[in-house]
Structure 1
Amino acid sequence: MPGQQVEICIESSHQGETMVQTARAEMFRKPDAAYYRYREPDVASMGSTITTVKVRPNEIRIIRHGDVTAEQTFSQNGKHSGFYHTPHTRLSLMTQTTGWEVALDDHGYGQASWSYILWVGDERAGDFKLRLTIREEQG
């Protein structure tokens, strides 16, 4: 059964630089979570990759499949291990969530914002902020 088409906007900030990405996504609702699945934009670093974002009130998980395989989990004040694999690279990741706000309505629309510290292997890679906005597809 196909999901509902929505527009998803991902804002990522790191070291004063902000990237904004907008995509059409398919939304699937379950009693305990909302899932948003979209194809990554055609950029060389991502190749052909499908991303699924699972949003629950107390946890967000980002899962990528395709040319890039990755998984990152975030929860309020949580610390989680993850990974990032490409045909050329295999990295172990660790995220420590430092800020958290999830405000989705019963239809799966709204915003989730969180900040986190990222470690790649044993190296601290920096502090990041993400904002995910989900709205009805404007068509």
Structure 2
Amino acid sequence: MNDKAKVKITLESNIDGEVEKNVFSGEWYRKGSTVYLKYEELEEGGSEVRTLVRWRDGELSVTRRGDVESQQIFAAGVRRGGQYASQHASFYLETETSLLWAQFGDMAKAEPIEEPLLPHLPMLLEWHYRLLVDDEPTGEFVIRLRAEEA
């Protein structure tokens, strides 16, 4: 089982009922039981933002670097602090996560898993959260991320 792979990432987001789907090329790697995904997004206006997703022990973090800088942490049933900064605005934010779920491997295939305790591809993450800025709810999010070998 490889600890590193080039991947196709499908990211589906439902933000207050508005659905968007994006596909990215990226890199998946594992260090012990921690999994990382790296990919680049193009923002409106053509600027690049590097995104790092980390999954470890039921906690997910999403860090974005570029014209937009942000850090969000998600853990089911917990409110976590984060931040957002761009040339237009900078603020402290919080995420209140109601669901955080991960699946590793293809559940449709009945194949033996060599290392059942270690995460592997394909990987599916789903998380539902409410975003708060200054203790005020600003949106309800449902995010689904799938990574599979390219």
Mark the runs of 5 or more structure 1 residues left unpaired by the alignment: none
TM-score in terms of structure 1 length: 0.89
User: 2:74·2:100 contact (CA, 8 Å) conserved in 1?
Assistant: no
Residue by residue over 1:51-77, the C-alpha shift from the partner in whole angstroms, topping out at 9 and shown as x without a partner, is 000112401100011111100000111
**2:78 is the alignment partner of 1:61:** no
**2:15 is the alignment partner of 1:14:** yes
Percent identical across equivalent pairs? 30
Are residues 86 and 129 of structure 1, via their aligned partners in 2, closer, same or farther at CA, if it must alter by over 3 Å?
Answer: same
Q: Which residue of 2 aligns with 1:72?
A: 72
Q: How many residues align?
A: 134
Tell which structure's C-alpha radius of gyration is larger.
2
Q: Which residue of 1 aligns with 2:129?
A: 116
User: 1:72·1:95 contact (CA, 8 Å) conserved in 2?
Assistant: yes
Alpha-carbon distance in structure 1 between the residues aligned to 2:142 and 2:97: 10
Alpha-carbon distance in structure 2 between the residues aligned to 1:57 and 1:109: 18
- State the one-letter code of the partner of 1:25: G
User: 1:29·1:108 contact (CA, 8 Å) conserved in 2?
Assistant: no
- SS at 1:43 equivalent: coil
User: 2:53·2:60 contact (CA, 8 Å) conserved in 1?
Assistant: yes
Alpha-carbon distance in structure 2 between the residues aligned to 1:21 and 1:37: 15
Q: Which residue of 2 aligns with 1:87?
A: 87
Q: Deviation of residue 47 (structure 1)?
A: 2.2
**2:127 is the alignment partner of 1:126:** no
Q: Deviation of residue 107 (structure 1)?
A: 2.2
User: 2:5·2:149 contact (CA, 8 Å) conserved in 1?
Assistant: no
Alpha-carbon distance in structure 1 between the residues aligned to 2:134 and 2:101: 27
Alpha-carbon distance in structure 1 between the residues aligned to 2:21 and 2:39: 15
- SS at 2:42 equivalent: coil
- SS at 1:101 equivalent: strand
TM-score in terms of structure 2 length: 0.83
- SS at 1:40 equivalent: strand
- SS at 2:76 equivalent: coil
